Amino acid sequence: MEPSGVDLSTTTSPSSSRVRGRTFSLGAVLAAALVACSPAAPSSPAPVATVGSTAPAASTEPTTGARAIFHITGESPVIARSIVPERGAILPGAVTVDDEGTYHAWVIAFASTPGTQDVHHLTSADAVTWTLQIDDSLAALSEGLGNPGAIPSSVVPAGDEWAMYFTGTLASEQEGWDIWRATAPRLDGPWTRSEEPVLRRGEAGSWDSGALDFPTVIPLEVGYDMFYSGIPSTDRNIGAVGHATSEDGIEWTKGDAAVLEPGLCGGFDERSVQQPRVLPSANGFVMAYAGYAEDISLPAQVGFADSFDGSTWACEWPGPALDTSTLTGDGIHTINAFQHGDNPALLVEWLADDGTDVWLAEFGLGGS
């Protein structure tokens, strides 16, 4: 499948010069995906949808190789639930790569008993073999918060230290999540949590009045962008993606409305779009997200979108972007995206055998 009518390998945009850190060429990686998916992928440009329009209906059936651009690698999960003793589910919260090329992940390990979960730090040289690290400061992130405690979602450099963004709600508030911030001098801690959330739910009746979730923060040359899930208080089964900006990573200003809404890429995401996992590209941003169909019994599928400025998004792959045909079980629970070498990759939390494990999905591999 071709990119959405724009040659991203040669086009420049204002966003490309604003992003700090490592980026990749979306045109190059999509070209690799074309080769991997050939000959089944058509050579004509794909229909494109932007916010405010509707893409052609897409299948909600499990995605197979030639119709996807992310593919599960290996025959076993890269982070099994057994990595943390006496826990039965692992959620891939935040992922980053340090200057030496070491991958760091903060995962949330859940037990079968409600309210029993904790945050853990893992490291890996290749994003395949992960090692549990000891960081006692992570427990304090959840102090005073209701279940399920702190859910880290993004870790980024902030001056001479590191900043972690996570969701949580005060135990006294019972429900609904806000976005908090913690800082540490090193990736192995110790982490110190902010006294108050840095981004709160919207006012009653607004599109994000019910909860904020899964923030991704992108450092820019000046300031920061944040993308997050917003859920209304009137219907917890729907959701959209919002955008906020900040000069210092602490004080944030929300946009007036959602920037990515249901139905962007077709039938598989027509009810809700959540879990915006955003990466900087050479010309702006790309986003992997969880899309939910109108049929509430269907599991999430992965959508893939791109943007020059973070405010206007286009469907980059008009159908589910992750091939799930090699896995058995009950489907996707959560995802995370990170840069794996020169390409984007996903950590996929997969429901199976009364729990979850985390699998690695790479870009443009597999399919025939």
Q: Given pLDDT bands bounded at 50, 70 and 90, which one contains residue 123?
A: very high
**Which run of H or E residues covers position 312?**
none
Lowest mean pLDDT among 80-89, 123-132, 173-182, 292-301: 173-182
Strand partners, 157: 162
Return the pLDDT at 30. Answer: 53
Q: Count other C-beta atoms under 10 Å from residue 17's C-beta.
A: 9
Considering only CA atoms, which of 29, 8, 102 is closest in space to residue 362? Answer: 29
Instruction: State the sign of the Cα–Cα–Cα–Cα dihedral 33, 41, 303, 358.
Output: negative
363 closest CA partner among 332, 331, 333, 341 = 341
Question: What integer is the mean pLDDT of 155-160?
Answer: 96
Find where tokens 């790479």 sit.
362
- 32 backbone dihedrals φ, ψ, rounded to 5°: -65, -40
Give CA 295 to chain center in angstroms: 22
The whole-number average pLDDT for the span 264-269 is 93
Token digits of residue 283: 């010309």
pLDDT at res. 337: 98
Q: List the single range of 161-175, 198-212, 214-228 with lowest mean pLDDT.
A: 161-175
Is 138 strand, coil or helix? helix
Q: Beta strands 224-231 and 211-219: pairing type? A: antiparallel
Cα 300 to Cα 214: distance, rounded to the nearest angstrom: 15
Global pTM reads 0.85
pLDDT digits (tens, 9 = 90+) for 21-41: 655 555 555 544 444 443 333
pLDDT at 252: 98
Distance from first CA to last CA of the chain, Å, rounded? 13
pLDDT at 10: 27
Percent of residues, the chain, with pLDDT higher than 90 = 73
Q: Are 145 and 168 in contact (CB under 8 A)?
A: yes
Which tens digits make up the pLDDT trace of 229-257? 999 998 989 999 999 999 999 999 999 99
Return the CATH number of the domain spanning residue range 14-363: 2.115.10.20
Q: 264 pLDDT band (50/70/90 cuts)?
A: very high
Confidence of residue 364 (pLDDT cuts 50, 70, 90): confident
Under the banding of pLDDT at 50, 70 and 90, the label for residue 20 is low
Amino acid 13: pLDDT:
32
Provide the 10 A C-beta neighbour count for residue 48: 17
Strand partners, 285: 280, 307
- Give, in order, the Cα–Cα distances in Å from 114 to each of 118, 160, 257, 357: 12, 38, 34, 18
Tokens encoding 241: 């993606």
Total Cβ atoms within 10 A of residue 50: 15
Residue 170 neighbours by CB distance under 10 Å: 13
